[in-house]
Chain A
């Protein structure tokens, strides 16, 4: 069993829809990262969370440490949000989820 599980694996949405991507983990962590990987392959960090909630533009990330669960939300989704979203947990090393491939159609 993977230490970091993401769901769904693939997600197709219509422009404007509210998107939720989930991440569950089984290890104790010091922080959780949400990453975005575009088709060109580059990875950028969206959020680093250790508790609560963070918001940046249309993106919101939440984490529940007790439940070992985090969610990434995208409001008013847009085709340019199409990418692979990866959850990574920092437990003195870094463990990654397999990623969620999001496609937003116009």
Chain B
């Protein structure tokens, strides 16, 4: 696609529900990064992939968070048993290897 696409743009859910956030990177981009950003804060790294391989998941806050990129393109970030503290903007970025980052518009998650 022309840019990094994320969906849904907005998600409101009740505490305890599972959510899945999708990132569709720029076609051909090898690296895909997931971040989250609380209001007024800088981005916080969550995890990243090279192709389909998850390279580093040290930024995932706990085991309720998981991510996959099974075919090396679209990625899904899943949050199980959501909690209010999970509320944030979840952003995805992609790059062709060690190159310029291209960011999606983000998915704003609100957990009630």
- Interface residues, chain A, with chain B CB atoms under 8 Å away: 30-31, 33, 35, 41-45, 48, 50, 84, 86, 88, 90, 92-99
Contacts and interface: CB of A to CB of B under 8 A. Distances in A.
A84 B42 CA distance: 9
A97 B101 CA distance: 16
A93 B32 CA distance: 10
Contacts of A84: 42
A45 B42 contact: no
Q: Top 10 closest A-B pairs, CB basis?
A: A43-B103, A98-B42, A93-B56, A99-B42, A96-B43, A45-B101, A45-B100, A96-B42, A94-B45, A48-B100
A88 B44 CA distance: 10
Contacts of B105: 41-42
A90 B42 contact: no
A41 B105 CA distance: 8
Contact of A97 (B33, B42, B98, B100): B42
Contacts of B102: 45
A42 B102 CA distance: 10
Interface in B46-70: 47-48, 55-56, 58-59
Interface SS of chain A: strand
A33 B93 CA distance: 13
A100 B59 CA distance: 22
Interface in B63-112: 89, 91, 93, 98-103, 105-106
Contacts of A48: 98-101
A50 to B, nearest CB: 8
A93 B45 contact: yes
Given A43-B43, A93-B47, 19 more contacts: A30-B98, A31-B98, A33-B100, A35-B101, A35-B103, A41-B105, A43-B91, A45-B100, A48-B99, A84-B42, A88-B43, A90-B98, A92-B55, A93-B56, A95-B45, A96-B43, A96-B44, A98-B41, A99-B42
A52 to B, nearest CB: 16
16 contacts: A33-B100, A33-B101, A41-B105, A45-B101, A45-B103, A48-B99, A48-B100, A93-B47, A93-B48, A94-B33, A94-B35, A94-B48, A95-B45, A98-B41, A98-B42, A99-B42
